[in-house]
Amino acid sequence: MPPAAAPLQIGGVTVAPGERRGIALPVGMLHTHVPVEMPVWVIHGRRPGPRLFISAAIHGDELNGIEIIRRIRARPLRGLRGTLLLVPVVNVFGLLQHTRYLPDRRDLNRSFPGSERGSLAARLAHLFMREIVARCTHGIDLHTGAVHRSNLPQVRAQLDDPATRELALAFGAPVVLDSRLRDGSLREAAAEKGIPTLIYEAGEALRFDEMSIRVGAAGIIEVMRRLDMLRPRPEGRARPVRPVIADSSHWVRAPAGGILRTAIRLGQRVKPGELLGRISDPAGDRDLRVDAPHEGIVIGRNSLPLVNEGDGLFHVARMARPGEALAAVEAISGAFGEPGAVISP
């Protein structure tokens, strides 16, 4: 018989092999002396294998990841090898206030690895590192664009690490962005512990986007298959998307304040000098073109027509084969639906 997995302990709670269990990690008190807890769901396989954490809402207004994790937890995951640690809401304080930040305006994703006696952000980061990351071998952190910014489904990863690159391509998002590690980020703190971690970016803050959610849930399952946590994809069932790697990306910024009229959609291929949008004053007396600086695919877009000078308007990824990237975007739209679709009940 294959060896059985060992029991797992998180937050003083022991989870037996083959058990699914919810755990509440204490993170502090509200002003009203009501306790705040970080919810964690542990799905512990009967057989040993990788331990994968899936985290969402490190920025409290980024909601797609919460629904992605709910759908993963709802799956039977039969024959699971290893362990899945699901953390649907890391920044509970931000979620309560519908904001990206913590009450002291700190960005939790610039506060890792944290410290036990530091700021609220540092303490929350320290708790997450101690109880979740330190017990795992791999990770996926789920994000969306900021308020009034929508992202095409994309994976961001440090591609010079072979293990991370393999998982990034297995995820199956249309674009994989070679992204450097940011100081204070969860991804950097995990990398320093030798834990390959992906960032999945899709959709917009404070909104559900059905296509982004479906791509994210499917991508997690594909990563689990690649890690041999789940059985391989059934024979004859091809993956819908072949990802394309983007070497770099560039935010096109507003040359002046005004009212933006957008001329392109997420996932569209653009060429140098192609019209992305126009900025005018309310009466239309002045009209400025906003053009693409280089060839690529639009992976992020401002969705608020009111812009100030210097605002990021369009995020254009540069790659060697933009035609293949466009084909990947079209394939993912065909398999999972168009961006902005209403969430399924």
214 within domain boundaries? yes
- Residue 47 has what pLDDT? 96
Q: What's this model's pTM, rounded to 2 decimal places? A: 0.95
CA distance 150 to 342: 15
217 within domain boundaries? yes
22 phi and psi angles, rounded to 5 deg: -90, 140
30 within domain boundaries? yes
CATH code of the domain covering residue 57: 3.40.630.10
219 within domain boundaries? yes
Please state, rounded to an integer, the average pLDDT across all residues of the chain.
93
Print burial letters for 31-52: b (CB count within 10 Å at least 16), e (below 16).
Answer: eeeeeeebbbbbbbbebebbbb
Where in the sequence is the domain holding 306, given as residue range(s)?
Answer: 248-318
Higher pLDDT, 207 or 329: 207
Residues 215-263 pLDDT 10s: 999 999 999 999 999 999 877 666 667 889 998 999 999 999 999 999 9
Would you place residue 325 in the very low, low, confident or very high pLDDT band (cuts 50, 70, 90)? confident
180 within domain boundaries? yes
Contacts of 79 (CB under 8 A, 6+ apart): 45, 230, 231
Looking from the CA of 345 toward its CB, the CA atoms found within 13 Å total 0
CATH code of the domain covering residue 305: 2.40.50.100
CA distance 170 to 201: 15
- Residue 62 has what pLDDT? 98
Would you place residue 192 in the very low, low, confident or very high pLDDT band (cuts 50, 70, 90)? very high
Among 52, 5, 45, 48, CA closest to 21? 45
Say yes or no: 219 and 275 in one domain.
Answer: no
Say yes or no: 108 and 199 in one domain.
Answer: yes
Say yes or no: 130 and 258 in one domain.
Answer: no
Say yes or no: 161 and 274 in one domain.
Answer: no
325 phi and psi angles, rounded to 5 deg: -65, -40
Number of folded domains in the chain?
Answer: 2
334 within domain boundaries? no
pLDDT above 90 (res 13): yes
CA distance 86 to 140: 10
Say yes or no: 174 and 307 in one domain.
Answer: no
Q: What angle do CA 180, 182, 187 make, to 5 degrees?
A: 85
